[in-house]
């Protein structure tokens, strides 16, 4: 019996490895790594001086930048600049070694896919886990590891957030979530969903039905590291803001305001769908079941999702903001897999196929299709020619 279990586990691991490599290659060929164009910028260090300054001095203030610029919003986004400092990025006069940070982000997609499939297999079959991963691979969530050219680094944040789901012990969960929160503030808004995931996982994904169950989770082994990660982040952010005069601008001019919501809904409502495409089936079904089962936990879950939609529509870059709520989609799949496995088995292949067929869009001011490798041959040829000409100096 032990031998049978070992062989079965080995079979799954080998198939998971093949699936991960296949998905990685599929995402690569369907996503043009636009950050490679940095190699063609003859004044890169000047164009993006603010980020090179952030690497040299992560706690330096960006108050001199206009509030409408991306650089003014990275005051508390410390994880990647510290990684860059550890790697010695910015030591070259050209600044083109910054590409190494992006290459590392792309490489993180491999362990991201591994963790995603592993997490999904905790509550559903290996086949369904792979199908859900396929669907995610053709949305912005996975393409963000390649589609990045303006120092967004969503791939880093998504990786650390998923690691916060993957690990079960308090210390790794706390550490990974800290790295996620200090990568981008949107990860902080996602903490309630991550908390609900750990609470559900501790109960084998069986629904709890009252507020007391969630309240008690604040003191449970599963809930404490997530709550503690949020509190430490907020307190440390307040201290750093006061001590080093760090500030993240907000308001209409900065493109961060609740007043944007009405405009966004009137003009870019499609952004909700485009973020996860057919994967919205699972939150929709959970919302439908809420009217039948009337469980408080489902209301809390949908409330956390609504909060992240509000946050996403309070800024211009909807796709990347809304994709931070992917833990909630994992929870919805878990609940469906436990309560209605036949529905998951029936519709998940269709969901994956629809996600593949819909061209991946990125919505900021307007929907723009994320280009594939094949549609970007001209740009790639220029980059290859530049590299082979031996003019690249790191």
Which structure tokens are listed for 237? 């952010």
Q: How far is Cα 392 from Cα 91, in angstroms, rounded to an integer?
A: 14
Question: Residue 361 forms beta bridges with which residues?
Answer: 369
Per-residue pLDDT at 297: 75
Percent pLDDT > 90 in the chain is 60
Q: How far is Cα 362 from Cα 381, in angstroms, rounded to an integer?
A: 24
Rg (CA), the chain: 21
Least confident of 227-231, 235-239, 319-323, 390-394: 390-394
pTM: 0.92
| Maximum distance among all Cα pairs of the chain, rounded to whole angstroms | 67
Domain extents in the chain: 107-375
Per-residue pLDDT at 7: 43
**pLDDT tens for each residue of 113-141:** 999 999 999 999 999 999 999 999 999 99
**pLDDT tens for each residue of 332-379:** 999 999 888 999 999 999 999 999 999 998 888 777 899 999 999 999
Exposed, middle or buried: residue 311 (CB in 10 Å: 0-12, 13-18, 19+)? buried
Per-residue pLDDT at 4: 45
Per-residue pLDDT at 254: 67
**pLDDT tens for each residue of 200-215:** 888 788 765 555 666 6
Helix H or strand E encompassing 3:
helix 2-29
Which structure tokens are listed for 4? 């049978």
Query: Cα 65 from chain centroid?
Result: 26
What mean pLDDT do residues 18-27 have?
Answer: 96
Query: Cα 60 from chain centroid?
Result: 26
- To which residue do tokens 């405009």 refer? 263
What mean pLDDT do residues 228-245 have?
Answer: 96
Q: Are strands 361-363 and 367-369 parallel, antiparallel or unpaired?
A: antiparallel
Q: How far is Cα 369 from Cα 366, in angstroms, rounded to an integer?
A: 10
Least confident of 21-35, 55-69, 157-171: 55-69
**DSSP reduced 3-state for 372:** coil
**pLDDT tens for each residue of 143-197:** 999 999 889 999 999 999 999 999 999 999 999 999 999 999 999 999 999 999 9
Angle in degrees, CA 42, 35, 109, rounded to 5: 155
Count the Cβ atoms, other than its own, within 10 Å of residue 156: 26
């Amino acid at each position: 019996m032990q031998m049978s279990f070992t062989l079965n586990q080995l079979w799954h691991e080998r198939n998971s490895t093949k699936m991960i490599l296949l998905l990685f290659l599929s995402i690569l060929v369907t996503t043009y790594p636009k950050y490679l164009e940095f190699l063609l910028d003859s004044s890169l260090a000047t164009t993006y001086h603010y980020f090179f300054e952030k690497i040299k001095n992560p706690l330096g203030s960006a108050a001199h930048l206009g509030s409408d610029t991306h650089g003014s919003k990275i005051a508390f986004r410390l994880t990647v600049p510290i990684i860059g400092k550890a790697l010695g990025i910015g030591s070259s006069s050209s600044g083109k070694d910054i590409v190494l940070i992006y290459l590392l982000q792309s490489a993180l997609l491999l362990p991201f896919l591994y963790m995603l499939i592993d997490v999904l297999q905790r509550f559903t079959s290996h086949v369904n886990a792979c199908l859900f991963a396929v669907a995610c691979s053709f949305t912005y969530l996975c393409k963000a590891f390649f589609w990045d050219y303006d120092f967004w680094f969503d791939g880093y944040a998504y990786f650390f957030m998923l690691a916060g789901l993957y690990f079960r012990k308090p210390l790794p969960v706390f550490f990974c979530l800290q790295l996620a929160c200090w990568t981008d503030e949107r990860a902080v808004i996602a903490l309630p969903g991550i908390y609900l995931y750990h609470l559900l996982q501790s109960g084998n994904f069986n629904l709890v039905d009252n507020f007391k169950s969630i309240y008690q989770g604040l003191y449970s082994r599963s809930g404490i590291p997530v709550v503690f990660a949020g509190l430490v982040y907020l307190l440390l952010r307040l201290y750093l803001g006061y001590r080093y005069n760090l500030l993240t601008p907000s308001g209409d001019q900065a493109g961060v305001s609740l007043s944007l919501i009405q405009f966004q809904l009137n003009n870019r409502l499609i952004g909700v769908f485009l973020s996860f495409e057919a994967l919205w089936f699972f939150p929709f079904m959970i919302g439908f079941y809420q009217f039948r089962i009337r469980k408080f936990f489902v209301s809390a879950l949908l409330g956390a999702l609504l909060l992240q939609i509000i946050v996403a529509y309070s800024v211009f870059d909807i796709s990347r903001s809304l994709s931070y709520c992917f833990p909630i989609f994992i929870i919805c799949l878990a609940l469906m897999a436990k309560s209605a496995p036949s529905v998951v088995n029936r519709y998940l292949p269709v969901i994956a196929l629809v996600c593949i067929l819909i061209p991946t869009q990125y919505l900021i001011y307007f929907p723009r299709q994320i280009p594939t490798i094949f549609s970007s041959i001209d740009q790639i040829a220029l980059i290859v020619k530049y590299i082979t000409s031996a003019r690249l100096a790191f």
